[in-house]
Structure formats: structure tokens, C-alpha cells
Amino acid sequence: MEKVAIDELKLKDLQGRPVGLQDYFQEYSLVIFLRHLA
Amino acid sequence: MKSFKDEFDRRGVAIVVISFAEPERLAPYQEHHHWPFVMLADPKRIAYQAFALKRLSWFRIFSPSTLWLYLRLLREGKKFQNYGKDDYYQAGGDFLIDREGNILFAHRSQDPADRPAIEKLRQAIDQAVSRTSFTSSLNEEK
């Protein structure tokens, strides 16, 4: 099974603050990566 | 996807949308669309790389299915919104992951129109939930 170190993913919220994916987890997370904004 | 949010919430699945756009470009996009999901920015594409999302070829971007998708969206009255600099070659994708980062379902888009069917996502969630229930019951028996 593929595994990703989610605590190492440095992301930003819409205000530009640093956040982690784990901050938004429930039991699972469906992560959708956008291709572009349209 | 908006209409499935409640169902996903009930089943313990948070939906998080990630874009490589800078937060200052993503904020007006969210203001316009009002997506009921968390939207996060990954301008350095660290997460895109971690999930092995590659760049698409020119042939993939202008595939018949992509052109058909855009034609359909135009017919439905969708208007092109300009949010500034874009990258049409970046592939997107959909992933179901657990708290440990295990990828329980992966769909890496082969072209812009390539998205997983909602039924496939439901099946993946069903499998994940049943696996968790099974593991929990084993732990309780110990």
C-alpha cells in the first residue's frame, strides 16, 4: 500500500498561514488535487 | 461533489481540496464558487510531488474527452474565470487516505476530464470503513 508522510506536507490556508493536512482530518480524508482554477 | 459532502461527513471522511495556486489567487476562486470544502494552497507543489502527480503532455490536455468536457461546460453556461497565471500541464488527482497517510484509493488523472466516478469513491470508503470495523473488533477481542 502506498503511504505518504502527511505531517511533512507544508500547506497554506487561504489567508496564507502554514497548515498541515492532518489539521483537517476526520477518520479519513478525501484529498482532491486541482489541475487548474476554472 | 457538493451534494455528497454530508454523506462523506457522516462516514468520517473530510474533503480537502488542494491547489498549486497561491493563497491570494485561491481566495477569490473560493469566494466565487463557495465550495463547502476546506481549500488549501500548495504553491511549492510539495503535496503534488508526494502524491506522485505528474505533468500532462500536450496530447493529453487536448484529448477528445477534454475538449468534450469543455464544450459541455460551455453549453451549460459556465464562464471562464480568469484567476491569473495558470499551469495547464499539471495533473490532478483524488486520494482517500487514513490518519497514518496510507493511500486507500488513488486516482491520478490521465487528462483534465479524467475524474473518478462517485461510485468508485463510495466503494473505497465502504472498504476502508469495514476494514476499520474489523480491526476494531479484533482489538476488542484481545
Domain count of the fold of chain B: 1
ipTM value of the model? 0.93
**Residue B140 resides in a domain:** no
**Residue B119 resides in a domain:** yes
Yes or no, beta carbons of B40 and A3 under 8 Å apart: no
Which positions ≥6 away from B85 have C-beta within 8 Å?
B25
A37 vs B contacts (CB less than 8 Å):
19, 21, 25-26, 29, 81, 83, 86
Residue B70's CATH number: 3.40.30
**Residue B13 resides in a domain:** yes
- Percent of all residues in chain B with a pLDDT value above 90, rounded to a whole number: 43
Domain range enclosing B64:
2-134
Residue B85: the pLDDT is 65
Q: Taking a C-beta distance cutoff of 8 angstroms, is the pair A34, B19 a contact?
A: yes
Residue B2: the pLDDT is 64
Residue B92: the pLDDT is 92
Q: Which of B18, B19, B132 sits opposite A37 (nearest CB)?
A: B19
Residue A38: the pLDDT is 56
Helices (H), chain B: 5-10, 23-33, 46-50, 58-61, 64-75, 118-141
**Residue B67 resides in a domain:** yes
Report the residue of chain A nearest B116, measured CA to CA.
A32
Instruction: Indicate the residue type of A36.
Output: H
pTM of the shown model = 0.82
Instruction: Tell whether B41 lies on the interface with A, counting CB pairs under 8 A.
Output: yes
